[in-house]
Amino acid sequence: MPVPSILFPADPLNPRRPDPHFAWEARLVRELGGEHLLVDHDALLAGRAEEAVRRVPRGSGPLWYRGWMLPSARYAEFAAALTARDGNLLTSPPGYAAAHELPGWYGAFEGATPPSVWIPTSGAVPPTPEELAEAVARLGGSGAAIVKDYVKSRKHEWHEACYVPELADLAAVGRVVGRFVELQGEFLAGGVVLRRYEEFERADGPDGPDEDGGDAAGAAGGERRAVEARVWWLDGRPVLVGPHPDAPHLQVEPDLTEVSALVRRLGCRFVTTDLASRADGSGWRVVEVGDGQVSDLPRGIDASGLLASLIAA
């Protein structure tokens, strides 16, 4: 049986080398006896998948990707261009979309993740007030919430474009969602998601406690962030438990008993789950799920077990 090679984005300035962000992973793959190959991320994003994979040899067999996030449609073109060269991405396009986009994974994790609703949009057009009111009603009509798209939030613009203090204030919901859509612009993925806000355990960031007393601003503003563990799953097994890349110094040891079954239910081979502990001590919550190929690995983490599992899978 051929063993998988790993595809990395090439350095845009030097296409024979891996992108500097992924160079340490590529080096580690080589040290572990694996093979890495390079693809052109800019060409992939621009919809020129055939050109993007021209450095991948024909008949390269099973492949994993470790790189920048791709919209699901671009990933599907990527997979097709590799298939045309007799290469086989081990995560199928439907599998990628299921782990990458909230509506794809939400069903498998419902009950273990904050209650969420979504409104598909076409491009960067905000939902109508009627669509928002209907979504808010589905979410229970009151209480705090956060806004994101199918993939990403604007957590660094927390008050402006992420946090909704009170869903019953529909005008305020409209303002935060409107600003979110405006800032995402052409990068808005899929549509607008509203999630009930939950209080997670926080830790002081490197700059010390939040100056304004630690309200929700700290959750993503950088001062008192929610402590999250990023768990990397391959074929239903946790192959690496580490910190979230935003806070690589914060180590947590989540209880994985419940989430293991949910990852198996999702049925994707290589995924990550970001887990946070509820502030009231009532247990671990799944903040989000991601495709393992495009989840960021915190610098300094020992990724040899993870990468060794990938090239043996």
Ligand X SMILES: Nc1ncnc2c1ncn2[C@@H]1O[C@H](COP(=O)(O)OP(=O)(O)OP(=O)(O)O)[C@@H](O)[C@H]1O
Contacts (Cβ under 8 Å, ≥6 apart) of 147 = 153, 154, 161, 162, 163, 164, 176, 177, 180, 192, 193, 194, 195
- What is the distance between the alpha carbons of residues 230 and 244, in angstroms, rounded to a whole number? 5
With CB under 5 to 8 Å by kind, the binding choice for 227 among Mg ion, ligand X, none is none
Q: To the nearest whole angstrom, how small is the minimum distance from the Cβ of residue 156 to Mg ion? A: 12
Residue placing its CB nearer to ligand X in the complex, 99 or 219: 219
Q: Using CB under 5 A, which residues numbered 277 to 296 contact Mg ion?
A: 288
Whether residue 262 contacts residue 286, with contact meaning beta carbons closer than 8 Å, is answered with: yes
Angle between helices 170-184 and 129-138 (to 10 degrees): 110
Binding mask 280-309 for ligand X (x = CB under 6 A): -------xx---------------------
Residue span binding ligand X (CB under 6 A) among the ranges 22-30, 51-59, 123-131, 145-153: 145-153
- What is the distance between the alpha carbons of residues 10 and 15, in angstroms, rounded to a whole number? 5
- Size of interface with Mg ion, in residues (CB under 5 A): 1
Binding mask 95-114 for ligand X (x = CB under 6 A): -------------------x
Contacts (Cβ under 8 Å, ≥6 apart) of 167 = 136, 139, 140, 141, 142, 143, 144, 145, 173, 194
With CB under 5 to 8 Å by kind, the binding choice for 198 among Mg ion, ligand X, none is ligand X
Closest CA to 150 of 69, 232, 217: 69
Residue placing its CB nearer to ligand X in the complex, 25 or 223: 223
Interface residue with ligand X among 37, 44, 132, 146 (CB under 6 A) is 146
- Return residues touching ligand X (CB under 6 A): 114, 146, 148, 152-153, 155, 195-198, 200, 219-220, 226, 228, 274, 287-288
Where along the sequence are the contacts to Mg ion (CB under 5 A)? 288
